[in-house]
Amino acid sequence: MKDGQPEGGAWNFDQENRQTFSNWFKDNSPPQLNSAKTVSDDITRTVATLVEKEFSDHPGSTDNFWLPVNRAESIRWLKAFIRDRLPSFGAYQDLMVSGESMLNHSVLSPLLNLGLLTPQECVEAALKSYESKASPLNSVEGFVRQIIGWREFINGVYWLRMPEYKNVNYLQANRSLPVWFCTAETEMNCLHQVLRQVIDLGYNHHIQRLMVLGNFLLLTGIHPREVDRWYLEMYVDAFDWVMAANVYGMILFADGGFMSTKPHAASGAYINKMSDYCLGCRFKPSMKTGPQACPFNYLYWNFFDQHGEKLKPILASKQF
């Protein structure tokens, strides 16, 4: 920053960070696999055996355990991201591709939340990549903002509003979580793909969590406490302080707009634009009614019909 002005002349580069599946496909951009392979040690194998014995009826499996479990492996994981995936992270951070769990994402949140890495060293590594011209500004800015912007913001919301925050339910959502959220047995391919991934790996990136799973949970009116419990149980980076603001504020708009200016509601068009999920689905995002219409389409309009009066002030403010 010079003379109070941001690097590159802008505070963020979101417009450059919204490349669609079509852009990715035309660019012939292959997924960037994580080259930092983890090594299973005796303690990890012992714990995996215990988990399989004691929790055999729970979702998921310990087969092919993939995460770092110590400081040295975590540093290698960070370096591999900075070197191999950060350069294209910005452009494709909202992308979703069938069968691809990582793409250009860092998957550093489990390591940060466990204390195996520090936010400062992750930020400094990204800045060095920019300074050496190995990574573009839009990728580095987007990554840094997620760590010292979003991550710290939701931590602040937690300490400011808890414990009362978990009692909010602005939209009066009261439905139970579908059983198939723990099996991935659904004909909606986008939900099947994302749920299968979290069952297998305990991980989805932020757009999968917000705009596929979260969007469905918002539109169908699942009770916030049931949603919160599911996210806490299913994700390897789940801590109470992490999920509270993300679930009650960002995903469900249950706090009435305290931390998010709008409900993140979307029809099937968004998922069709940002992924290839719709190509393998029996439902059609282009159809609004009928048995082949994407359920997200009629759920979207039902949501606004149901909550239109409450959302009028937001619509009038042109924030939405």
Q: Please write down the HEC assignment for all residues of the chain.
A: CECCECHHHCCCCHHHCCCCHHHHHHCCCCCCCCCCCCCCCHHHHHHHHHHHHHCCCCCCCCCCCCCCCCHHHHHHHHHHHHHHHHHHHHHHCCCECCCCCCCCCCCCHHHHHHCCCCHHHHHHHHHHHHHCCCCCHHHHHHHHHHHHHHHHHHHHHHHHHCCHHHHCCCCCCCECCCHHHHCCCCCCHHHHHHHHHHHHHCCCCHHHHHHHHHHHHHHCCECHHHHHHHHHHHCCCCCHHHHHHHHHHHHCCCCCCCCCCCCCCCCHHHHHHHECHHHHCCCECCCCCCCCECHHHHHHHHHHHHHHHHHHHHHHCCCC
Phi, psi of 175 (to 5 degrees): -80, 155
What confidence score (pLDDT) does residue 2 get? 64
Domains and their CATH numbers in the chain = 14-161 (1.25.40.80), 168-316 (1.10.579.10)
Q: Is pLDDT above 50 for 320? A: no
What confidence score (pLDDT) does residue 312 get? 81
Number of other residues whose CB lies within 10 A of the CB of residue 294? 24
**Mean pLDDT on 16-39:** 75
Q: Which two tokens stand for residue 37?
A: 């392979």
**Mean pLDDT on 207-215:** 97
Nearest-5° angle of CA 257, CA 259, CA 263? 50
Q: How many Å apart are CA 262 and CA 282, to the nearest integer?
A: 30
Question: Which whole-number Å values give the CA distances from 258 to 75, 244, 245, in the listed order?
Answer: 36, 13, 10
239-289 confidence digits (pLDDT tens): 999 999 999 999 999 999 998 888 999 999 999 999 999 998 999 999 999
108-144 confidence digits (pLDDT tens): 999 999 999 999 999 999 999 999 999 999 999 999 9
**Mean pLDDT on 54-79:** 91
What confidence score (pLDDT) does residue 315 get? 65
**Mean pLDDT on 5-28:** 79
Is the Cβ–Cβ distance between 98 and 196 less than 8 Å?
no
Phi, psi of 298 (to 5 degrees): -75, -25
What confidence score (pLDDT) does residue 41 get? 86
What confidence score (pLDDT) does residue 26 get? 83
Highest mean predicted confidence (pLDDT) among 63-72, 94-103, 108-117: 108-117
107 vs 62, residue with greater confidence: 107
Q: How many Å apart are CA 140 and CA 134, to the nearest integer?
A: 10
pLDDT classification of 3: cutoffs 50, 70, 90: confident
Is the Cβ–Cβ distance between 42 and 170 less than 8 Å?
no
Instruction: Tell me the whole-structure pTM to 2 decimals.
Output: 0.92
For residue 158, which of 243, 250, 224, 230 has the smallest C-alpha distance?
Answer: 243
Residue entry with tokens 């049931």: 226
What confidence score (pLDDT) does residue 313 get? 78
